[in-house]
Chain A
Amino acid sequence: MAIVGETGSGKSTLAKLLTRVWERNVALVDGEVYLEGVEILHMPEHQFRREVRWWKIGMVPQASMNALNPVITIGEQMIEPLLLRGVPKAEALRLAMDSLESVGLPRDTVYRYPHQLSGGMKQRVVIAMALMTRPKVLILDEPTSALDVMTQANIMNLLKELKARMKLSYIFITHDLALASELADSIAVMYAGKIAEIGSADDIYSSPAHPYTQGLMSSMPTLRIDKQLASIPGEVPSLISPPPGCRFHPRCPYYVERNLKGICDAKEPPYAELKPWSGRRHLAACWLYQEFISGR
């Protein structure tokens, strides 16, 4: 699944929530997260550490390739968390080398320092780190946004291959809808801390339903498709006091065109079931798809 949204829409916060990496000032965590049928959001921390984080869910945090410690070898950085978990050193080193090899890097990368590696190689290292413990789910937060298009395509090729080889599930976070289509079976579009639309990739690309998703689609520069570029007016709202009702209403063209004052700005839209031909679930949180409005 790809989670797509603009800066500040809450993508990274959601990723951190799933791996229970709390910022120091987190004030409220609510809801439930299930992994293989087991609720993990409220499970005791020691159990989460022992059974879930790293073992079942791996994470490549945003900009982590630039967070590698410059004065410690790649190998030492890779094995440290394993040593903390009681894996013997020789075994840990072997796992690190295996993992580096599986992402297309030489085994002796363990002896190198971050500054000796290119951006693309560092990104491979952080992916190898997350995969050392063979998790089933890998969360990738903007893994290519700092790379140029060729390096990005090479990393995407790697992710595609790893997915098949290791039978991984990905949660792929990006601000780029075009990039999301390279991996995603399904897409969740986030806006201002909420999921605006969620559905299969086929349905979302062929018929985006939420006005925000439509805006994102038409603002995407593409080389092969000829179309006029249009931007979404305005800026992402502050999440300290988000707009009432639908958070997108100050930027939504339909709010004015369809004269939805008193509706969109008054009450948060519920999810509407769109029932596409594909038969897959497709939901959009928008008043346009509630019957009393679509009929009027």
Chain B
Amino acid sequence: MAVPALEKDFSDTPWVRGDSLVVAHRLRTWYSLKRGLFSKPIYVKAVDDVSLSVSRGETLAVVGESGSGKTTLGRTLIRLLKPTGGELYFDGADISAQEESELRRWFRRRVGVVFQDPYSSLHPYHSIQFILEEPLMIHGVPGEERLERVYRALEEVKLTPPEDFLYKYPHMLSGGQRQRVAIARAVIMNPDFVVADEPVSMLDVSVRVEILNLLKQVQERHKSAFLYITHDIATAKYFSDYIAIMYAGKLVEYGPFKPVIREPSHPYTQALIEALPDPDPKNRLRQRKVAPGEPPNLANPPKGCRFHPRCPYAMDICREQEPPMVEVRPGVYAACWLLVKR
């Protein structure tokens, strides 16, 4: 189910498919820090010239360290934040500048979101029934239909029998159960687009699997476009079709999930993969070749390639000029001077 292709020119970002449900072109979201009444504001360039697209029925994993701009990107795509620049389309409509009142009329019901922290994302004084019914009420679903849909949602996330959970409060549930409620709430309106922001990073390893499997089932059932935000590529593997690697507010590599993981092109992607532990004692005490140091301050990012202070291959040009995204293999794009044929 493709959206009629936008009559726009995306040829400068050829990895963007214009017939996708969600299209972001050269998107920027900057936060402004006002220092004093008369001084010029400082901008934190959390998302800076990011282009991507997500179609119905597919999952895009957005991966990067903390502070790389993943959450800002996710929140911008569902217009919890207003972009500073660039274009943003949903189902063919330009939503980059629409006002909240307008978004509420048609857009809000079509997107869902699952946050990282299952302890703070659910209102502590609301029963599970209310938490799930609230979005239905907001979007005017008639009363008789609401309870039926709440039951179905609880069954879908395997909180069964539903009547055991309706009158409970979040604090009575385990972390995994709360995250199930959060997922049920995100999909209860049958959204076309779901953003899941680190949905398993606060959970125990054994509970993670259940939630990952559940997300996969939900995604397959609803055929929605899915954005999965994580710092851990291993958890993305089970249901992602595409992957976007972000570093310091920039997209540094993009492509189909498996080819990118099998043969990462960008030095940062390589380091992210190298950082993942395996259950294999052969790695005992082996120094891993990961990026030392910390991601930069986004108010004053490094000139040229933003990764250059941590990159083992940094050259003179990296310190001066920003590398362009180039196609390194069919469908795989990366922004690194090592990959630019000169």
B205, B237, B273, B285: the one within 8 Å of A219 (CB): B205
Within 8 A of A (CB), among B208-253: 208-210, 212-213, 231-235, 237-238
B209, B234, B284: the one within 8 Å of A184 (CB): B284
Complex CA–CA separation, A229 to B216 (angstroms) = 12
B286 is an interface residue with CB less than 8 A from chain A: yes
B233 cross-chain contacts in A, Cβ below 8 A: 149, 223
Complex CA–CA separation, A119 to B67 (angstroms) = 11
Binds B, one of A87-95, A151-159, A242-250: A151-159
How many residues belonging to B are interface residues under a CB distance threshold of 8 Å? 42
A177-B205, A222-B234 are contacts. A161–B287 as well, Cβ < 8 Å? yes
A221 is an interface residue with CB less than 8 A from chain B: yes
B32 is an interface residue with CB less than 8 A from chain A: no
B175, B234, B272, B281: the one within 8 Å of A205 (CB): B281
B206 cross-chain contacts in A, Cβ below 8 A: 6, 215-216, 219, 231-232
Contact flags B266-303 to A (C-beta < 8 A → 1, else 0): 00000111111111110111111011101000000000
The majority secondary structure among interface residues of chain B is loop
Complex CA–CA separation, A151 to B66 (angstroms) = 9
Q: Are A150 and B285 in contact (CB under 8 A)?
A: no
B261 is an interface residue with CB less than 8 A from chain A: yes
A151-B65, A182-B277 are contacts. A230–B283 as well, Cβ < 8 Å? no
Complex CA–CA separation, A13 to B209 (angstroms) = 26
A148 cross-chain contacts in B, Cβ below 8 A: 65-66, 231-232
B283 cross-chain contacts in A, Cβ below 8 A: 181-182
Q: Are A150 and B279 in contact (CB under 8 A)?
A: no
B204 is an interface residue with CB less than 8 A from chain A: yes
Complex CA–CA separation, A235 to B65 (angstroms) = 31
Q: Are A235 and B290 in contact (CB under 8 A)?
A: no
A66 is an interface residue with CB less than 8 A from chain B: no
Shortest Cβ distance from A246 into chain B, in angstroms? 18
**Measuring CB to CB, which residues of chain A are less than 8 angstroms from any residue of chain B?**
6-7, 118-121, 148-154, 156-157, 160-161, 163-164, 175-179, 181-185, 201-202, 205, 215-217, 219-225, 229-232, 235
Q: 6 smallest A-B Cβ distances: which pairs?
A: A153-B275, A148-B231, A201-B281, A178-B277, A231-B209, A153-B290
